[in-house]
Amino acid sequence: MAQIEVTRLPDATPRPRHVAIGTFDGVHLGHQAVIDDADTVLTFDPHPLSVIHPAALPKLLMPFEVKRDVIEGLGVRELVVIPFDAEFAGRSAEDFVERVLIEMLAATSVSVGENFRFGAKAKGDPQMLAARPEFETRVVPLVEVDGETVSSTRIRALVAAGDMVGARHCLGAPFMVEGTVVEGDQRGRELGFPTANIIPDDQLAYPGHGVYAAFADGVPAAVNVGVRPTFDSGRGVLIETYLIDREEDLYGRALRVAFVERLRGEKRFASVEELIAQMRIDVEDAKRVCASFTGAQ
């Protein structure tokens, strides 16, 4: 597949585009319905709330690089990124429509979710877009899963609770964490389970403490998210990934972990022997879950 073209808005040249607009954090099933057959996605980086109301900025579900890859997987040709700042936040909704959508992007059709708001003081709405004759407007209703609206807020809560199955039903794919593998204290290696360790980014969501079955760069894995209660390590949260039946040095490399299912909560063990026995069980459980995972929701 051709790599998606990433364009900063100031560098965009006009051409007929079918544009889907949104922040699209998580690129969940509701976002996918908005993007559907668009050839261009118009999004914001950083997240608008980081400029408008930093205290209200939630933990994001995915970093920009993952969002780009997921959007590319939907068949989108171009990702146009608005470098969101105070100046852009102050632009009126009319200015956004005329300068951005019509002049800069030459949009022939525009797709948004029914709750999309834009422009200074969020005065722009789908009705304003639909009233414009220059392009067709498609307003997409909110998507429901299990009788409840799919939203980034709902998915964040599921992820924090360790409900990877619920999160996957809303995302349409497993929840992912990506990070650079850092040097640990070799504890896992001493126990016979060498792990690739990631320190989660404080600005991003990550699963609640516990042990998970996952795929790490496509390889079945058992993953511990937590602060290692058996050992007083004095560290913050670590994501420790044991790649099953695969041994390679991952230090300094980016690792993408796709969480499939929570196996158990975090637990303190009375002895190292008990911990090792439980780790063996965790690895077998993770193997079983990964082997039966089809990728279906």
pLDDT averaged per 10 residues in sequence order, the chain, 297 residues? 86 97 96 97 94 92 93 97 95 97 98 95 95 97 95 97 97 95 72 87 94 96 82 72 88 94 92 92 97 79
CA separation for the pair 61, 206 (Å, rounded):
8
Its pTM stands at: 0.90
User: Tell me, what DSSP letter sits at residue 295?
Assistant: S
Q: Find the Cα–Cα–Cα–Cα dihedral 171, 36, 90, 58, rounded to 10°.
A: 0
Are 112 and 137 in contact by the 8 Å Cβ rule? The answer is: yes
| Tokens (6 digits) for 15 | 């051409």
CA separation for the pair 120, 48 (Å, rounded):
11
| Ranges of H-type helices in 106-213 | 126-130, 152-160, 164-171, 187-191
Host H or E run for residue 226: strand 219-226
The reported pLDDT for the residue numbered 184 is: 72
The reported pLDDT for the residue numbered 1 is: 46
Find, among 174, 180, 199, 182, the residue nearest to 61 by Cα: 174
The reported pLDDT for the residue numbered 267 is: 87
Give the count of alpha carbons within 13 A of 10, CB side only.
Answer: 3
pLDDT tens digits, one per residue of 232-258:
555 688 999 999 988 878 889 999 999
Are 243 and 267 in contact by the 8 Å Cβ rule? The answer is: no
Question: First and final CA of the chain: distance in angstroms?
Answer: 24
Q: Which residues are catalytic?
A: 240
